[in-house]
Copies of this chain bind each other. A is one copy, B any other.
Amino acid sequence: MSHGYAGTTDQYLARLRRIEGQVRGLQRMVADGDYCIDILTQVSAAQSALDSVAMCLLKDHMSHCIVAAAQESDEAARIKIDEATKAIARLVKS
C-alpha cells in the first residue's frame, strides 16, 4: 500500500540526511570541546528540522490517509483521527 508521503520520498530522505548530518555535527562539537551554549543552539536547530519533517508527514497523512478514510466511512475516519490525535499529542510533548 502506498502512503501519504509516497510522492515525496526523495525530499523526506534528503531532509533526514541533513538532520543526520546535524547530529554528526553535534558529535564533532562535543569531541572538539565546543562551548555548551553553541552545542545547545545546534540541538535546537536539529529539533526544529525534525519538527518540520513531522509537520510535513502529518499534513501528507491527513491529506491522504484521513481524507481517504473519511470518504470510506465515518467509522474508518474515527479510527484514523484517534490515531493521528495521539501522534500530535506526542509531538506537542516532545
A residues touching B (Cβ–Cβ < 8 Å)?
Answer: 1-6, 9, 12-13, 16-17, 19-20, 23-24, 26-27, 30-31, 33-37, 39-41, 43-48, 50-51, 53-55, 57-63, 65-67, 70-71, 74, 77-78, 81-85, 87-94
Interface of chain A, main secondary structure: helix
Say yes or no: B9 contacts A31, CB within 8 Å: yes
Say yes or no: B57 contacts A43, CB within 8 Å: yes
A50 to B50, CA, bound (A): 10
Say yes or no: B58 contacts A85, CB within 8 Å: yes
CB nearest neighbor in B for A70: B70
A25 to B19, CA, bound (A): 12
